[in-house]
Amino acid sequence: MQVSVVDKEFNEQTQGFGLDGKGEATVYVSANEIVLLKNPNDKKILVKVKLSKTVEGTRYQEIGAFEE
């Protein structure tokens, strides 16, 4: 899975890395950033997300909804 953190104002990636298999990561995201998760494979994957605090306006949007 590919993980990207993108600045909402400038639409520029500020962080990015790949995770294999049962990889785990902690990602710090500021108020002006969004997290994008992309599965480059044909196989379904399970993603577990834990937020350290409540984030007003948090939403989930399928990756298919974003155009590359």
pLDDT for 41-53, tens place per residue?
Answer: 888 888 888 877 7
Quote the tokens at residue 40: 């480059």
Task: Using alpha carbons, select from 50, 1, 52, 56 the residue that is nearest to residue 23.
Answer: 1
What order of strands is seen across the sheet that includes strand 33-38?
Answer: 12-18, 2-7, 33-38
Domain with 64, as residue range(s), is 1-68
Q: What is the pTM of this model?
A: 0.72
Please give the tally of structural domains in the chain: 1
Q: How high is the mean pLDDT of the chain?
A: 83
